Structure 1
Amino acid sequence: LSMSECLCLLHSSLEGVDSSSGAEPDSIFMVCTSTKTLNLCQPEIYTELYITEGGGGEVNQEHEVIQIETASRRSDTAERAITLEELFKAPPGRPQPIRTVMTKGVAGIGKTLLTHKFTVDWAEDKAQQEVHYTFPLTFRELNVLRGRSFSLVGLVDHFFSGSKEAEICSFQDFLVLFILDGLDECRLPLDFLSTQTLTDVSESTSVEVLLVNLIRGELLPSAHLWITTRPAAANQIPPECVNMVTEVRGFTDPQKEEYFRRRSTDEEQVRRIMSHIRRCRSLHIMCHIPLFCWITATVLEDMLKSREEGKLPRTLTQIYSHYVVLQNKVKTVKFDGGTATDPHWSPQSREMMESLGKLAFEQLQKGKLIFYESDLTECGMDLRAASVCSGVFTQVFREESSLYQDKVFTFIHLSLQEFLAALHVHQTFISSKVNLAVDEALQSPNGHLDLFLRFLLGLSLPTNQRLLQGLLTQTGRDSQNNQKTVKYIKKKLSESLSTERSINLFHCLNEVNDRSLLKEIQQSMRSGNLSTEKLSPAQWSALVFILLSSQKHLNVFDLKSFSPSEEAFLKLLPVIKASKKRWDTKGGGPGQVRGMKDRDKKVVRSEERLMENYEELMKE
């Protein structure tokens, strides 16, 4: 049986075990859940994720790393944290029953693992005991059925062949939960406006018509639905079809530490890792993402074993460079019969990584994270080559297949795809001007090239190129070229950019080890000689970046420390919006703003009203 089939039948199997027969329910559970994925759900390994109820109806199109950075500055006082057990349970005061839950979260934040944990808890009678059958489906699986016809009963039997044996034909007799994981990966045309109505679970139609009617509640209205998605795809489902919106926020700071402690029994190693991550803000923020925590832990644990503590990576480019080198070492030892001290990159390994880089770049441009055979063909890669890559670089590129499925390929995380895409561009267009990449990234309305740009600039550093020696067949940017790039970025910071684009350019400067602008502002702040009336646009951007990176200023932002001018207010508005408390310019108390024009007061007050309304909704 496949994992899905085991999970579907497990609950009823356990209920049917006669205690007098001597059969142990736990032994059935162990047989049915012996996959690697479900092992991650075991109590001694699994680290709880921070889940909140709520989330605006607007769709966040920003790059997901930017969303994580923004969330790290967000006050959580207005949010209601919930547990898996509370899904589908209406809070007090909400009369409407909850049929459909949508859970949003950025790539790698743990949405799929969360659905697995939920299903295991359900199977063990730890959660949602009123549900008779749980059917976990992924859009990756459903995509390959495009063009085929099924009834709802037939679709369930297609993925869960034991359903017929269990005589699940009339769903109305049971409380059924459908989990639809990965809406952002859906390639089916879901048309909620013109799709015909279907109410009969035994009537055959296309998969997309089944899904639309199931989600609209016209087909099997008694069922529960749980849909997971990345934020940008959430608007594919009409808001009236969703009763509860939740968000997976990943790890809180205490959960990060718990995760590292669960990985290792070496207390000193855990202490060093946590201390290093706290000192490197970009790493600390990214560790909200569980999968990035895993990548970081993999790299740092290996380096500490090798007694390389003095050279621990501080930037994202360094982390991913070390990670790719480490995975190649694993390949050399495991598949090539070599040792960890052998030359890092064989011609075969280099060719594979170059192919993956090309695939990563071309699919990144199209916004694709999963690849079917047709996607591979477009990039000049055949199925066999892709399977070989996924077989040896198992923690870089994965192949997924099971009964009834075509093969699906994916990088383990979007950020790794972006790093390999940057590696491809660095290799292929090394003689071209990096300034063009800066311009293109700044022109992107949603910042989808922000992280790619950080990696591309980071790879221009000789120190990072030395890390990848043997993989990079040529290096062509000297320190003089890098200085020209730094100068160009500073020039761009002097232009009228959004806060998000400015922040990313400072991250880019960090990747190339240039902190001159930030140090200049920090020195003025320490000496008390900071005059906001004399700041250039680039210096204003640096000040906002520093303040947004400071937990002290975000806890209570003191406006009276800065000029009460209209320009200062507007420049500092991102900090004002992100801060938990705000002091006015005349000492009037927190949350007040004085000395500003009426239209500027309205901006902040409208933000405050939104927050107040949101808090009231959370109380209801």
Structure 2
Amino acid sequence: MKSDQPPAFSQEPLPDDNKEVESLDSEDALKITHNLLDRRSQTLLTVQQDIKAKLKHKYQHISEGIGHHGNQILLKDIYTELYITEGGSGGLNNEHEVRQIEMASKKQTTQETPIKCNDIFKPLPGQDKPIRTVLTKGIAGVGKTVSVQKVLLDWAEGKANQDVHFMFPLPFRDLNLKKDQYSLMQLLSHYFPELKEIDSIEDGETKTVFIFDGLDECRLPLDFKNNEKCCDVTQPTSVDVLLTNLTEGNLLPSALLWITSRPAAANQIPPECIDQLTEVRGFNDPQKEEYFRKIIPDQNLANEIIKHMKTSRSLHIMCHMPVFCWISATVLEMILKEAEKDEVPKTLTQMYSHFILIQIIVKNKKYNKATETNPKELSQSDKEMILKLGKLAFQQLQKGNLIFYEEDLRECGLDVTEASVYSALCTEIFKEESGLYQDKVYSFVHLSIQEFLAAVHALESCLDKKENVFSPTSDEEKQSIQLSDLHRRAVDQALKSENGHLDLFLRFLLGLSLESNQNLTQTGSTTQTNEETVNRTVRYLSDKIKRESSPERIINLFHCLNELGSNSLVEDMQTSLRSGTLSETRLKPDQCSALAYLLLMSEEVLEEFDLKTYNTTKEGYQRLLPVVKTCKRALLDRCKLTYESCETLTSALQTPNSPLRELDLSNNDLGDRGVELLCVGLTSPLRNIQTLVLGQCGLTEGCCSDLASVLSSPNSQLKQLELRDNDLQDSGVTLLSAGLEDPDCKLHTLGLSGCLVTEEGCAALSSALRSNPSHLKELDLSYNHPGDSAGGLLSAALVDPTYKLMKLNVDHGGECRLKSGLRKYACHLTLDPNTVNPNLILSEGNRKVTWVKENQHYEDHPDRFDYHPQVLCREGLSGSRCYWEVERDGTEAIIGVVYRGLKRKGKEDDCRIGANKKSLSLFCYDRGYELKVFFHARVWRSISGPVSKRVGVYLDWPAGTLSFYSVSSSGTLTHLYTEHTTFTEPLYPGFGFRFYSSSVTQCQIDGQDIQR
């Protein structure tokens, strides 16, 4: 927005007369017309100046969450620039907002351009579209309303946006009360009576900004789909209809709109109505320190406070919210100034307990009600006030309300008079506001204060009234109710919550159960908790951590343990993490949850998170999945993930500010349903995933439309997509090509190796490249059957300067590649008679080997194993992909691969398959599998998986992987293990035994049938 004086607002003297123009000659008529226009301009300027004066008076002081012990401060003296960025998470984030601020606390790994609040309507570099409507998201207390206040004050004081003629703040909490019908001009005149001096602001030259603060507080239906259309600013209708038509541009299309909202409510505005999405992230670390130094006059004390906040990760994270910085400054300034210092708060419960107590003390000093003997002792009326506010807080929290009107107060047993008294006495806890007119609105200063007081109410109801707030309590049950019963019920309710709205409440409730925190709040409870109660709750939380399936809910349970001072599991995991011994430990699921908690709470962003490096179960892997939201590169390949895992991953993909750029999910049984879920996260705004690897994930054409939507999404940053070894077929590739040809597709690399693609699929790809030739640089179609003509079409793109294609791989093609799964890589193997040990017999055309007691008379040969009962195949495998299957008969067998240089003579380990650096083997027996890996390190471990007589071996020599599979009687493959290395020479399949009469047979693979 420009800063020059609006040309329509001339300040020349008004003419004294108002003669009718039509009675004059043309020159006089023109003069009178100019005079009339000047008169209107002067009227507009007068109205503007009156509105600016009104807004300056209202917004020049900061009054909530900043005021110092009840003393208002000028906004310009305390204002600290907030971190506002383009974009947002997109979609709904089913996490408590405190969890979202924890993610925002991670160190930024990408360069983002901050947006100053006065530049909210300015196009960003590279943007050429006009911006009419801006939606700004941010969690409660992060600074949205203060940003609005700053913009209004700067405009009113002539410091910014002086090309704007009028700014109209219309908070939703005020609009909720308007039940009658109004025209737009009538509604504006109700807020701003000054506007009655002008007939309209719809002249096309008057630049107007509407600011709708607090969409999450809106109780109007905002029915964009069914509301009637309204284009006349003088037509009376409901406020709801006015708002939807203003937003859609039917009313005052020239007006600019700025809407603020908490994330969960932002989707009430249709995306097509939003031109710019921004996000208020609160304070970054330097801004936190700047704020503390501004609000604390004593700089030594400010430094001491900053130092203390950094010692507690949970408190430092919360300081991203300006309102929590104010709470902390209020508490710590008073505690650190005292001669006999109380214990300095280290948990959220301690901080809020001190805050409530300090506000009561300040109130009592102000109104001369403090007791001389103990100024920290609460009077009976103080206790009653806290408990009544606690009841209001709990009941409205259950309904999801942050603002309350008179009817809400009456439902909670509070009359308006009491509410007004409480808001006057404790302005920093509970407030009564008048809108721009005189209707009353009530709220707690911040959602977290409401959650804390709600927990006080729940605790007091249990200890004093023997009631469980989560369930009706009979007279008989009251006799036996215990605090641990309330804890269990509260934990269960919080775990059931889909959006985590009880997470912080639960942390406060459990923290208040400690006697030290109860002493702070002094709510009058005659029954104190004891150590056994706390221990029972700790055991219940620990049990829930072991059993709960939602990784996100589990993380909050660790926060709860922290409030109770029980951190042994986390501390043990921290010790293992620091010592580097985690890879040597078999992690239980609850240990994985503790590890996830530690990694998520760390301020550091992981460069790489390799899930398979942790030795745990399938459930353990599931619990570690939330960590992907805090790393740049997530390697989740071969971790037995399924469709259910994708629900957690989708939530992680939609996390604001996630640094994740590369995601490898290959070799997991995700299926089409899993990828469909992932694509929901991948198409959300500003997802920064650039590399997605989905090789061998059991995909078919069923997911290709979803993937095409990702490719064609204007929000997508995807540059590399790997889909190798999925049975997509031509039909799937054709669907995928629809996304590839879209102008918004910026894909550089596409991997379709081994995807059953023929001439038809290649033709679809060629067509897509013709439509969008400017981005794709690499295309891998190896191990397919493209045919000469289709291959020729694609090859032509390599030499045509119109295309960016630089690398095309169609190697290893042929009709034999049109087999499902790994069997397309089947290779023919025969046992080498020159290597067979004298106690082994070959049969069935050198495809079967059996261990016998009798010594066979073979000619001497340098390649023969003279001691160990082993045999190798003739064929050395290198440079390509190969798959073979063997079936054992007897109790056990050794299946492996070796380099040709493996020694053959003697009984030492350097002659045994799987016991040296020149070999690797899988030991199969009737009870399971054991692996011996010696390519890099001496590893011998048990492998879990279905026991089968048949084993599949897959070698991808160029990629450096060797995989073993259990093969069922129906031909289903179950992954057992994959070794990652770099192969330097051909590998020879080999077999060995430990017991007589055992045998191994090479299976013939023909199509999808396996024959002996």
TM score, norm. by length of structure 1: 0.88
1:284-303 pair list within 5 angstroms: 284-303=316-335
Alignment partner for residue 123 of structure 2, among 90, 100, 115?
A: 90
Q: Which amino acid aligns with 1:151?
A: S
Farther off after superposition, 531-540 or 324-333: 531-540
Q: Which whole-Å CA distance do the structure 2 matches of 1:481 and 1:94 have between them? A: 60
Q: Deviations over 1:354-413 (max 9, x none)?
A: 110110001100000111000011111110011111111111000001463321110000
Q: Which whole-Å CA distance do the structure 2 matches of 1:79 and 1:480 have between them? A: 50
> In angstroms, what is the RMSD of aligned CA positions?
3.3
Corresponding residue SS for 2:689: helix
Q: Which amino acid aligns with 2:588?
A: S
Q: Which whole-Å CA distance do the structure 1 matches of 2:175 and 2:337 have between them? A: 44
Q: Which whole-Å CA distance do the structure 1 matches of 2:400 and 2:459 have between them? A: 20
1:446 deviation in Å? 0.9
Corresponding residue SS for 1:81: coil
Q: Which amino acid aligns with 1:440?
A: Q
Residue of structure 2 in register with 1:512 after alignment = 564
Residue of structure 2 in register with 1:404 after alignment = 437
User: Gaps spanning 5+ residues in structure 2: where?
Assistant: 14-47, 63-72, 464-481, 639-659, 691-714, 719-743, 747-1012
Q: Which amino acid aligns with 2:56?
A: T
Residue of structure 1 in register with 2:953 after alignment = none
Contact 1:256 1:287 in 2 (8 A): yes
Alignment partner for residue 240 of structure 1, among 256, 269, 272?
A: 272
Q: Which whole-Å CA distance do the structure 1 matches of 2:371 and 2:9 have between them? A: 47
Q: Which amino acid aligns with 1:507?
A: H
Q: Which whole-Å CA distance do the structure 1 matches of 2:435 and 2:526 have between them? A: 41
Q: Which whole-Å CA distance do the structure 2 matches of 1:345 and 1:185 have between them? A: 33
Q: Which amino acid aligns with 1:452?
A: F
Q: Which amino acid aligns with 1:530?
A: L
Residue of structure 2 in register with 1:63 after alignment = 96
Q: Which amino acid aligns with 1:195?
A: N
Asked if 1:529 corresponds to 2:610, the answer is no
Alignment partner for residue 261 of structure 1, among 269, 289, 293?
A: 293
Q: Which whole-Å CA distance do the structure 2 matches of 1:195 and 1:502 have between them? A: 42
Q: Which whole-Å CA distance do the structure 1 matches of 2:579 and 2:294 have between them? A: 43
Contact 2:551 2:623 in 1 (8 A): no
1:564 deviation in Å? 9.5
Residue of structure 2 in register with 1:391 after alignment = 424
Q: Which whole-Å CA distance do the structure 1 matches of 2:605 and 2:146 have between them? A: 35
Residue of structure 1 in register with 2:536 after alignment = 484
Asked if 1:597 corresponds to 2:620, the answer is no
| Structure with a larger share of its residues in helix | 1
1:517 to 1:222, Cα distance in 2 relative to 1, 3 A: same
Contact 2:570 2:598 in 1 (8 A): yes
Asked if 1:467 corresponds to 2:520, the answer is yes
Corresponding residue SS for 2:85: strand
Q: Which whole-Å CA distance do the structure 2 matches of 1:357 and 1:364 have between them? A: 10
1:119 deviation in Å? 1.3
1:220 to 1:482, Cα distance in 2 relative to 1, 3 A: same
Residue of structure 1 in register with 2:689 after alignment = 611
Alignment partner for residue 574 of structure 1, among 626, 630, 653?
A: 626
1:308 to 1:561, Cα distance in 2 relative to 1, 3 A: farther
Q: Which whole-Å CA distance do the structure 2 matches of 1:53 and 1:412 have between them? A: 27
Q: Pick 1 or 2: higher relative contact order, CA cutoff 8 A, min separation 6.
A: 1
Q: Which whole-Å CA distance do the structure 1 matches of 2:78 and 2:716 have between them? A: 35
Q: Deviations over 1:565-619 (max 9, x none)?
A: 8776554332233113568999xxx9778896255799899789853365589x9
Corresponding residue SS for 1:102: strand
Contact 1:427 1:474 in 2 (8 A): no
Q: Which whole-Å CA distance do the structure 2 matches of 1:569 and 1:392 have between them? A: 52
Residue of structure 1 in register with 2:595 after alignment = 543
Alignment partner for residue 500 of structure 2, among 447, 453, 472?
A: 447
Residue of structure 2 in register with 1:22 after alignment = none
Residue of structure 1 in register with 2:281 after alignment = 249
Q: Which amino acid aligns with 2:499?
A: N
Contact 1:11 1:123 in 2 (8 A): no
Q: Which whole-Å CA distance do the structure 2 matches of 1:214 and 1:29 have between them? A: 23
Q: Which whole-Å CA distance do the structure 1 matches of 2:174 and 2:661 have between them? A: 50
Q: Deviations over 1:432-464 (max 9, x none)?
A: 411111111111111100000000000111111
Corresponding residue SS for 1:494: helix
Q: Deviations over 1:27-74 (max 9, x none)?
A: 998886344654566433210000011114302242111211122237
User: Gaps spanning 5+ residues in structure 1: where?
Assistant: 1-9, 19-24
1:294 deviation in Å? 0.3
Corresponding residue SS for 1:448: coil
1:122 to 1:37, Cα distance in 2 relative to 1, 3 A: closer
Farther off after superposition, 42-51 or 290-299: 42-51
Residue of structure 2 in register with 1:428 after alignment = 461
Q: Which whole-Å CA distance do the structure 2 matches of 1:595 and 1:395 have between them? A: 49
Residue of structure 2 in register with 1:33 after alignment = 56
Alignment partner for residue 370 of structure 2, among 318, 333, 338?
A: 338
Q: Which whole-Å CA distance do the structure 1 matches of 2:492 and 2:171 have between them? A: 37
Corresponding residue SS for 1:60: coil
The total of aligned residue pairs comes to 598
Q: Which whole-Å CA distance do the structure 2 matches of 1:593 and 1:153 have between them? A: 53
Q: Deviations over 1:128-159 (max 9, x none)?
A: 3321111111111111112x111111111110
Residue of structure 1 in register with 2:413 after alignment = 380
Q: Which whole-Å CA distance do the structure 1 matches of 2:396 and 2:171 have between them? A: 21
Residue of structure 2 in register with 1:352 after alignment = 385
Q: Which amino acid aligns with 1:573?
A: L
1:147-166 pair list within 5 angstroms: 148-165=180-197
Residue of structure 2 in register with 1:316 after alignment = 348
Q: Deviations over 1:105-136 (max 9, x none)?
A: 11111111111111122233433332111111
TM score, norm. by length of structure 2: 0.55
Q: Which whole-Å CA distance do the structure 2 matches of 1:119 and 1:301 have between them? A: 31
Contact 2:610 2:636 in 1 (8 A): yes
Contact 2:6 2:162 in 1 (8 A): no
1:412-423 pair list within 5 angstroms: 412-423=445-456
Q: Which amino acid aligns with 2:122?
A: K
Farther off after superposition, 214-223 or 523-532: 523-532
Q: Which whole-Å CA distance do the structure 1 matches of 2:57 and 2:616 have between them? A: 63
1:271 deviation in Å? 1.4
1:92 to 1:331, Cα distance in 2 relative to 1, 3 A: closer
Contact 2:53 2:156 in 1 (8 A): no
Q: Which amino acid aligns with 1:436?
A: R
Q: Which amino acid aligns with 1:506?
A: F
Contact 1:54 1:79 in 2 (8 A): no
Q: Which whole-Å CA distance do the structure 1 matches of 2:269 and 2:334 have between them? A: 44
Contact 2:139 2:262 in 1 (8 A): yes
Contact 2:593 2:624 in 1 (8 A): no
1:592 to 1:288, Cα distance in 2 relative to 1, 3 A: closer
The percentage of counterpart residues that share the same residue type is: 49
1:89 to 1:400, Cα distance in 2 relative to 1, 3 A: same
Contact 2:82 2:281 in 1 (8 A): yes
Q: Which whole-Å CA distance do the structure 2 matches of 1:36 and 1:169 have between them? A: 24
Asked if 1:43 corresponds to 2:95, the answer is no
Alignment partner for residue 247 of structure 2, among 204, 211, 215?
A: 215
Corresponding residue SS for 2:114: strand
Q: Which whole-Å CA distance do the structure 2 matches of 1:448 and 1:44 have between them? A: 35
Q: Which whole-Å CA distance do the structure 2 matches of 1:472 and 1:125 have between them? A: 53
1:220 deviation in Å? 0.8
Q: Which whole-Å CA distance do the structure 2 matches of 1:61 and 1:17 have between them? A: 58
1:472 deviation in Å? 3.4
Q: Which amino acid aligns with 2:214?
A: G
Q: Which whole-Å CA distance do the structure 1 matches of 2:217 and 2:380 have between them? A: 34
